[in-house]
Amino acid sequence: MTTETYADTREAVHEQRIDGFGTVRVLPLDPHADLDVLHGWVTEERAAYWGMTGFTRRQVLETYLHLDSLDTHHAFLTVKDGVPVALFQTYEPEADRVSECYEVRPGDIGVHLLIGPPAPGAGARPGWSSTLLGAFLAYALTGLGRERAVVEPDARNSRAIDRLARQGFVDAGDIVLPGIDLPEVRLPEKRARLAFLTREAFEKGPTAAR
């Protein structure tokens, strides 16, 4: 199958046609089928804050097979007009280490975002990340009926923090996520920036969210 029709037979959990942008499909990640895309993205230096730059293909596969076995954490591949463009993850905050850093509310959902690299010669992509994040939030908040999205990017990742602020996320300050041991990988202690976006604010738009 060519990248122009990547995973076109896979059922999407969310599909959205965005004027002036294209069609975005959010697909449940298949750790085996998507391994080439995954390994290429997460091991790039630009993805350093994802914490997997030194991982082998086997380590990436085992990490996402473990994630796929959980009922509380889920990974999604986002495809735009038939081309993979982003990796998104959702999680139940009460089942995650972030729960040690804030008081979880009913209806909270945690989200992670990794935008894939631009295609060779693609040039600048104004509004690219915010549009993809908006499509995913439409699924995570509106589609799943959740009340609030929770993010905790690395505190040093100023680009991600600025992007989330422009999306309407409200900064709640720095936290320290404790280190934990998973079956195939250890997550080290992490200083992160906690932020929230309610469904009501998201549906009204970024300006209203601030």
Q: What is the pTM of this model?
A: 0.90
- Enumerate the β-bridge partners of residue 195: 151, 171
Average pLDDT over residues 6-29: 95
**What is d(CA 114, CA 66) in angstroms, rounded to the nearest whole number?**
19
DSSP string, 146-163: -SEEEE--BTT-HHHHHH
Q: How confident is the model at residue 210 (pLDDT cuts 50, 70, 90)?
A: very low
Question: If 0-12 CB within 10 Å is exposed, 13-18 middle and 19+ buried, where does residue 132 land?
Answer: buried
Average pLDDT over residues 170-181: 90
Average pLDDT over residues 16-44: 96
**What is d(CA 59, CA 43) in angstroms, rounded to the nearest whole number?**
11
pLDDT score of 4: 58
Edge to edge, the sheet with strand 148-151 lists 14-18, 22-28, 73-80, 83-91, 108-115, 148-151, 190-198, 170-177
Q: How confident is the model at residue 115 (pLDDT cuts 50, 70, 90)?
A: very high
Q: Which residue has the higher pLDDT, 186 or 172?
A: 172
Average pLDDT over residues 18-41: 96
pLDDT score of 127: 85
pLDDT score of 51: 87
Which tens digits make up the pLDDT trace of 38-84? Answer: 999 999 999 999 989 999 999 999 999 999 999 999 999 999 999 99
Looking at every residue in the chain, the average pLDDT score rounds to 91
Average pLDDT over residues 159-175: 96
- Residue that has been written with the tokens 């999407």 in this structure: 12
